Amino acid sequence: MTVVVGVGALSADEVVSVARHGAQVSLSPEALKEIARSREVIKALATDVKPHYGVSTGFGALATRHIPNELRTQLQRSLVRSHAAGSGPEVEREVVRALMLLRLSTLATGRTGVRTETAEAYAALLNAGITPVVHEYGSLGCSGDLAPLAHCALAVMGEGVVRTADGEKKPAAEALAAAGITPVVLEEKEGLALINGTDGMLGMLVLAAHDLRKLLRTADIAAAMSVEGQLGTDAVFAADLQAMRPHPGQGDSAGNLRSLLADSAIIASHAGPDCTYVQDAYSLRCTPQVHGTARDTLTHAELVASRELASAVDNPVVTLDGRVESNGNFHGAPVAAVLDFLAITVADVASISERRTDRFLDPARNRGLNAFLADDPGVDSGHMIAQYTQAAIVSELKRLAAPASVDSIPSSAMQEDHVSMGWSAARKLRRAIDGLGRVLAVELYTAARALDLRAPLTPAPATAAVRDGLRATVEGPGTDRWLAPEIEEAVQYVASGRALAAAESVTGSLV
């Protein structure tokens, strides 16, 4: 598909398509018209005797210096070179593509004052699969993601290092030449326009939200298998009970659990008056409340992302009536806060998942199953250490839940004296979501073994389909085997969406 970048907002799906799946991009005729129109405003200011920030002055704490005409190309080039100061490991290709696309989207609004050829160069790099090398450290989240964006601008200039479409690391000049792309010689205001945005943290928020939406449905699947495998009840998920506390996410999660557990012979086997258990443990009974909180948090984060996708973030900006005004819209606070909020809920969903898993392994709590689900406890250890792995990840997620956005460190000689740390919040959220997927995979892996051990009782059609899908690559109960490859198979089963698809082949679309 081709994503058309216009003066309006990109959708989250369009960002994912370009960032992760290599979709092509093109600028709309309206965007090209607006870019050209605002460029005329900047050209007029370039000859003005009055200083204008970013056009005829230095930057940050150096904004008081007036720059003569003959040094302004050097000014923009020097800005990009000096700000491309990242360090550490390379950032993932999908993140760099997302931030380049989002910077292009802001350029396309016509509010930045760049030339059309500069915007078209960004589209050309994306379409050629050329990805600038961006480093882990360097952004304070204000003025936006300066260093990461500067590394991208450097590549557009034909400088720095990039990865080609096949992953080869090359000097940017060579890669651009091979792709037939002419490096851009930046003019007034352009260097500033290319580096002044929240595009890195926003791109990571969009990607994280996309992945988390799928994982939260998978969390309901794993929880349903645990409720069933531990002889829990589905009665607590009844719609009228959930409606007494009308949080939307809670209702959605409970609805999923009802669908997933429908027609379970295991649950029916102990649902009569002879059952002596009054209440399930919180980790089973309160699943909709915890999973629902994460859903509602994600909905709020998606709302913030949609607003940011509709924003034109630069400083200064060219207004619709032709003024050029300084502003503070580059501050990443709105994005940083929800990135941290998501990390908190991710840790909580992982924590309750680990508690459900642990109950399977304790014969005092698992209602008749062997210790650690082992074939011969004592000789075999079963899933004992799989839960250790899960617990180690959960502990890491609790540390990652400490918010980055409450931190700030002054920079630029105290001109930039309060920063958002949104890039850091986004980086830790990516790690947290990876961890959540692994934690859920271990729960699903363990619950599937328990469902097998409940035979001849049969699970619900939906949970049976999920278990059977896992059994295509992971054997059922037996004597101890090397667990690491099986855990990784379960991780891939979750991450690929196959576990979700197996459940939905019975239930229809979960919410």
| pLDDT at 18 > cutoff 80 | yes
Q: Using one digit for the tens of pLDDT, what is the confidence trace for 227-278?
A: 999 999 999 999 999 999 999 999 999 999 999 999 999 999 998 777 767 6
Higher pLDDT, 46 or 289: 289
pLDDT of residue 62: 72
User: Distance (Å, rounded) from C-alpha 133 to C-alpha 135?
Assistant: 7
- Cis amide prior to 377 (ω within 30 degrees): no
- Residues 272/306, Cβ–Cβ less than 8 Å: no
Whole-number mean pLDDT of the chain? 95
Give the pLDDT band (50/70/90) at residue 402. very high
**Paired tokens of 328:** 């503070």
Burial class (CB in 10 A: 0-12, 13-18, 19+), 213: middle
**Paired tokens of 385:** 């250490």
**Residue partners of 330: CB distance under 8 A and separation at least 6:** 142, 143, 144, 196, 197, 198, 313, 314, 315
Count CB-CB contacts under 10 A for residue 238. Answer: 11
Least confident of 142-151, 420-429, 449-458: 142-151
How far from the centroid of its chain's Cα atoms is residue 15's Cα?
11
**Paired tokens of 243:** 């409606």
Output DSSP code: residue 377: B
User: Distance (Å, rounded) from C-alpha 230 to C-alpha 356?
Assistant: 9
Q: How far apart are the first and last CA of the chain?
A: 26
| pLDDT at 52 > cutoff 80 | no
Q: Which residues are identified as catalytic? A: 53
pLDDT of residue 61: 65
How far from the centroid of its chain's Cα atoms is residue 194's Cα?
23
pLDDT of residue 112: 96
How far from the centroid of its chain's Cα atoms is residue 145's Cα?
16
| pLDDT at 124 > cutoff 80 | yes
Report, as an integer, the average pLDDT of 340-354.
98
- Residues 487/445, Cβ–Cβ less than 8 Å: yes
User: Distance (Å, rounded) from C-alpha 409 to C-alpha 71?
Assistant: 32
pLDDT of residue 73: 83
Contacts from 465-474 at CB under 8 Å and sequence distance 24+?
465/502, 465/503, 465/505, 465/506, 466/221, 466/225, 466/499, 466/502, 466/503, 467/225, 468/502, 469/493, 469/498, 469/499, 469/502, 470/444, 470/445, 470/499, 474/445, 474/448
Q: Using one digit for the tens of pLDDT, what is the confidence trace for 23-49?
A: 999 999 999 999 999 999 998 888 777
All domains of the chain in start order, with CATH: 2-197 (1.10.275.10), 204-507 (1.20.200.10)
| pLDDT at 347 > cutoff 80 | yes
What length does the chain have? 511
Report, as an integer, the average pLDDT of 319-344.
95
Least confident of 83-92, 153-162, 404-413: 404-413
Q: Using one digit for the tens of pLDDT, what is the confidence trace for 171-221?
A: 999 999 999 999 999 999 999 999 999 999 999 999 999 999 999 999 999
User: Distance (Å, rounded) from C-alpha 510 to C-alpha 11?
Assistant: 22
Give the pLDDT band (50/70/90) at residue 483. very high
Q: What percent of the chain has pLDDT over 90?
A: 88
User: Distance (Å, rounded) from C-alpha 229 to C-alpha 267?
Assistant: 9
User: CA triplet 342, 343, 347: central angle to 5 degrees?
Assistant: 115
**Residue partners of 505: CB distance under 8 A and separation at least 6:** 465
User: Distance (Å, rounded) from C-alpha 233 to C-alpha 279?
Assistant: 8
